[in-house]
Amino acid sequence: MANWTQVSRKMMAKLLSPDTWLPTEMPEYAQGFMYMLGSLTASSFVVLVISGVLLAMNGPASWSYNGAMRFVAATHFWAVQAFFFFMMLHLWRVFFTGAWRGGRGLTWILGAVALLVAIPTAFTGFLINGDLYSQWNAVQAKDGLNALGLGWINLTNSGQMMGMHIVVLPLTLTAVIGLHITLVRMKSVVPPYPEGERASDEDVE
């Protein structure tokens, strides 16, 4: 039986191999636009993080009164729309190609967790907007969470929401997306269902 050093060596060799991260060939079935949707989601996330860091560095007064920072705020807003749009299309693609097959269950779960973490990340961003809509949402959502016994999450406390939106949730999301993409690289993209027969888990590697 292999000891833990041998197991770790095997895992590290696969994780750090150039074949994992920089393959020179791509399977033919993965060359269509449908297989780009995950990368488009990830690219939107990069735009989100860069514009978000700029916003956080300059503070709320900047994007209210400075034209260039209004552009950054608008970029942040549209990057969110693109992120969720591409994520939903990606979710359809992975659903209809059965992309959990062939030992890709954890990749699927991490994708689902990314979606679940992305929702409160977007919502807390909406709350720190501070306009009347966001105040209304904060009060309603606070009552909802109170009723669930989660009163310690105070959605009307904009300091707490800033911390959630700028630090806790984006860092969590970055880690989850990072692991998701690492697993995709290690397992490679799932082959299509075999034509004309019911697929089983053994058909794919």
List contacts with ligand HEM (CB under 6 A): 35, 37-39, 41-42, 45, 87, 90-91, 93-94, 97, 99-100, 104, 107-108, 111-112, 114-115, 118, 177, 180-181, 184, 189-190
Q: Name the residue with tokens 């779960």.
A: 109
Distance CA 62, CA 110 (A): 36
**Residue number with CB closer to ligand HEM (135 or 174):** 174
Q: Is residue 110 classed exposed, middle or buried when 0-12, 13-18 and 19+ CB atoms within 10 A define those classes?
A: buried
Residue 171 to residue 94: CA distance in whole angstroms? 25
Nearer to ligand HEM, 17 or 39 (CB): 39
93 vs 160, beta carbon nearer ligand HEM: 93
Measured from the CB of residue 11, what is the shortest distance to ligand HEM in angstroms? Answer: 19
CB 121, min distance to ligand HEM, A: 10
Nearer CB in complex with ligand HEM: 45/63 = 45
Q: How far is the CB of 182 from ligand HEM (least distance, A)?
A: 10
Q: Write the CA distances from 187 to 29, 36, 38, 157, integer angstroms.
A: 15, 17, 15, 43
DSSP string over 81-139: HHHHHHHHHHHHHHHHTTTTTTT-HHHHHHHHHHHHHHHHHHHHHHHTT-SHHHHHHHH
Shortest Cβ 39–ligand HEM spacing (Å): 5
Nearer to ligand HEM, 99 or 155 (CB): 99
